[in-house]
Chain A
Amino acid sequence: LAKTTQPISMDSYEGQEVNITCSHNNIATNDYITWYQQFPSQGPRFIIQGYKTKVTNEVASLFIPADRKSSTLSLPRVSLSDTAVYYCLVGPYSGAGSYQLTFGKGTKLSVIP
């Protein structure tokens, strides 16, 4: 599995756009990039997944450069409720039910009023 590196923590003011970058230099051809969000004492929640270029959903955008060695999760206009730990995962799965997820250390995002 490709190893991921993220900043340990980030601070942002409410209403700002937040970009969290994840490095995955050893990403394999069949690997996808997935981001999860975790609030204290809760299970993680899926945010977004992508393979290349840009993916956008109602919650976030995911930017993946052509070499796929990094990715950036973009959260538009964050609010206090976005304070959480964000995990970047890389693995050879896309809809495979039996493949497990391996979590790195994650990025603790603190949104300040």
Chain B
Amino acid sequence: GAVVSQHPSRVICKSGTSVKIECRSLDFQATTMFWYRQFPKQSLMLMATSNEGSKATYEQGVEKDKFLINHASLTLSTLTVTSAHPEDSSFYICSARVGRGNPEAFFGQGTRLTVV
């Protein structure tokens, strides 16, 4: 099946710094990618929908100035957590869909962010 690669898989940063997470579709083009956040023992919560060449759409309660999303090409979307705080520590996951009649969504392996 299609592959979505996320990098880094794990990152530790200091409070107040920014962290960038990359999400790449390796063998297909994705005009739309999705970013999720998952806290321990909880479900995935959709943060935003990333659209190639246009602004991302954020879910209610997600600060767009804190979670910057850039989708500059059909195979790459990035999520930047700005001025990270310990409460931003979480598991961030991206996904994309091939579309064209394929119902399957492909997920990256996730990024474990720890803010100290």
Contacts and interface: CB of A to CB of B under 8 A. Distances in A.
Answer yes or no: are A and B bound together in one complex.
Answer: yes
Size category of the binding interface on chain B: 20 to 34
A93 B36 CA distance: 19
A95 interface: yes
Interface string B83-109: 000000001011101111111111111
Interface stretch (A16-24, A41-49, A67-75): A41-49
A94 B103 contact: yes
A97 interface: yes
Nearest to B36: A103
Nearest to B9: A41
Interface in A46-103: 46, 49, 87, 93-103
B101 A95 contact: yes
B99 A98 contact: yes
A49 B101 CA distance: 12
Q: Give the interface SS of chain B, mostly helix, strand, loop or mixed.
A: strand
Interface string B58-89: 00000000000000000000000000000000
B32 A97 contact: yes
A90 to B, nearest CB: 13
A104 B38 CA distance: 12
Interface string B2-42: 00101000000000000000000000001110101000000
Contacts of B95: 43-44, 101
Nearest to B108: A43
B116 interface: no
20 contacts: A41-B91, A41-B110, A42-B110, A43-B107, A43-B109, A44-B105, A45-B107, A46-B105, A49-B103, A95-B101, A95-B103, A96-B97, A97-B31, A98-B49, A100-B34, A100-B46, A101-B95, A103-B45, A104-B43, A106-B43
